[in-house]
């Protein structure tokens, strides 16, 4: 009766298991008793649109409404079939009724924290739940939010999607830098990352510069946090500190990993100092009423620093469908590798002059309320290595677990 087009089923099943074998499957086989055959696949649970909705919903009713708005498929006339057409949103909301509540945990030093919401940043906006952030804002003077990935991805999505939906106005951005990551962008191979190499750190600095620039694009105050590793050389950290100093960007070394809360006091003081001294002037990177392609171009050229974007044929068809369905006013959620400013994870450092980012496909997430723009090769079902970590795990009769890390 819903006249669903088997080629337009958007909804994939999810599992909290990583398996390349479930990426591409044909379901519905075995004759009549097996349903109708169609090509499908599994995604990991966090890649589900429900994970994104969970992190954007303001309360249970908003969650239910958004889940009802999920586009499950298109019918043979190209019109969306939504979860509410399947009368599924009530049952879904029942399943999620506890999950919608922020859950409070504490660090081993008893600092309270919410760990709530984890949409897969590869494909969703990758930020903690708005419900948790809003609750935290009522409970504390300062609230620190950790979006997934760097200032090209996590920061952009937090500002343009989460803050827009939640009406949030952030003030300051703590940019985490490590000598190791800068060396990687400076051309050092993975296995040599623990060897001191201040020159390579130097070569990697432009990417830190880009991230600082991104913070300013949103009208926010940057503070660079240099996350110290035990194998970092003093000269390497100095290179970073000097770079920030020359540009007037506040910076501090954090030793939280080694020394706990004490190791972060310098950074915290610097953050408070900046918040007292200066005022942020938060703004979005793009207005919602730009055409879809322009919104993507703005993000790509401004936040990633590439020269232009190109929509491949599939993506162009998707833009036409989005326009036809009147969905072009939603914000953009970039699905892009986090290992490069470009869509090619092997390209380190700043994008080369003239680099064109390729958008392979677009998909309106009508429940989450954004349009995912797929760039390069993004995978929503990870594969296990030849020897998965599980092989080394064990538990003895006293219940002692080994091999987890």
Contact set with a second copy (CB under 8 A): 6-7, 13, 15, 17, 19-39, 41, 59-61, 64, 86-88, 90-91, 93-94, 97, 383, 390-395, 397, 399, 401, 403-404
- Minimum Å gap between C-beta 369 and a second copy is 20
Q: Of 194, 169, 191, 165, which is closest to residue 180 (Cα–Cα)? A: 194
Q: Which residue lies nearer to a second copy by CB, 64 or 295? A: 64
Tokens 């400013």 correspond to what residue?
Answer: 341
Q: Which residue lies nearer to a second copy by CB, 144 or 404? A: 404
The answer for residues whose C-beta is within 8 angstroms of residue 194's C-beta and 6 or more apart is 180, 231
Q: How distant, in Å, are the alpha carbons of 108, 321, 325 from that of 318?
A: 48, 5, 10
Say how far residue 235 (Cα) sits from the centre of its chain.
32
- Minimum Å gap between C-beta 388 and a second copy is 8
Tokens 């889940």 correspond to what residue?
Answer: 67
SS3 279: coil
SS3 375: strand
- Minimum Å gap between C-beta 114 and a second copy is 20
Q: Which residue lies nearer to a second copy by CB, 61 or 258? A: 61
Q: Which residue lies nearer to a second copy by CB, 31 or 385? A: 31
- Minimum Å gap between C-beta 103 and a second copy is 17
- Minimum Å gap between C-beta 164 and a second copy is 24
Distance CA 255, CA 13 (A): 42
Q: Which structure tokens are listed for 26?
A: 């044909």
At 391, phi and psi to the nearest 5? -60, -30
- Minimum Å gap between C-beta 72 and a second copy is 13
- Minimum Å gap between C-beta 79 and a second copy is 16
Q: Which structure tokens are listed for 146?
A: 């950790």
336-359 b/e with 16+ CB inside 10 Å = b? bbeebbbbbeebbbbbeeebebbb
Q: Which residue lies nearer to a second copy by CB, 224 or 375? A: 375
Q: Which residue lies nearer to a second copy by CB, 15 or 137? A: 15
Q: Which residue lies nearer to a second copy by CB, 11 or 282? A: 11
């Amino acid at each position: 009766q819903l006249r669903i087009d088997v080629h337009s089923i958007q909804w994939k099943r999810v599992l909290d298991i990583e398996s390349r074998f479930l990426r591409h499957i044909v379901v519905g086989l075995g004759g009549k008793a097996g349903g109708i055959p169609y090509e499908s696949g599994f995604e990991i649970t966090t890649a589900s649109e429900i994970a994104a909705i969970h992190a954007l919903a303001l309360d249970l009713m908003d969650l239910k409404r958004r889940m009802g708005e999920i586009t499950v498929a298109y019918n043979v006339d190209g019109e969306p079939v939504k979860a509410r057409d399947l009368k599924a949103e009530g049952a879904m909301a029942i399943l999620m009724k506890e999950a919608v509540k922020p859950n409070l945990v504490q660090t081993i030093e008893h600092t309270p924290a919410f760990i709530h919401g984890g949409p897969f940043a590869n494909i969703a906006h990758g930020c903690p739940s708005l419900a948790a952030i809003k609750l935290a804002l009522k409970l504390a003077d300062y609230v620190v939010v950790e979006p997934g990935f760097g200032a090209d991805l996590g920061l952009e999505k937090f500002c343009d999607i989460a803050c827009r939906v939640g009406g949030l106005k952030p003030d300051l951005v703590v940019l985490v830098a490590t000598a190791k990551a800068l060396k990687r962008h400076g051309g050092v191979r993975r296995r040599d990352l623990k060897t001191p190499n201040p020159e390579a750190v130097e070569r990697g600095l432009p990417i830190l510069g880009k991230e600082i620039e991104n913070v300013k694009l949103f009208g926010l105050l940057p503070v660079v946090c240099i996350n110290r590793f035990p194998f970092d050389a003093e000269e390497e950290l100095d290179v970073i500190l000097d770079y920030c100093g020359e540009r007037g960007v506040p910076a501090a070394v954090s030793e939280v990993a080694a020394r706990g809360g004490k190791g972060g006091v310098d950074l915290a003081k610097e953050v408070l100092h900046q918040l007292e001294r200066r005022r942020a002037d938060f703004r979005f990177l793009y207005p919602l009423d730009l055409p879809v392609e322009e919104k993507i171009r703005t993000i790509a050229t401004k936040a990633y620093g590439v020269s232009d974007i190109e929509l491949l044929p599939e993506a162009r068809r998707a833009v036409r469908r989005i326009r036809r369905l009147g969905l072009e006013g939603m914000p953009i959620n970039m699905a892009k590798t986090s290992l490069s400013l470009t869509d090619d994870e092997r390209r380190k450092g700043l994008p080369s002059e003239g680099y064109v980012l390729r958008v392979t496909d677009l998909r309106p997430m009508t429940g989450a309320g954004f349009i995912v723009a797929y760039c390069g090769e993004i995978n929503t079902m990870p594969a296990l290595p030849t020897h998965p970590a599980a092989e080394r795990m064990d538990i003895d009769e006293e219940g002692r677990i080994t091999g987890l890390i």
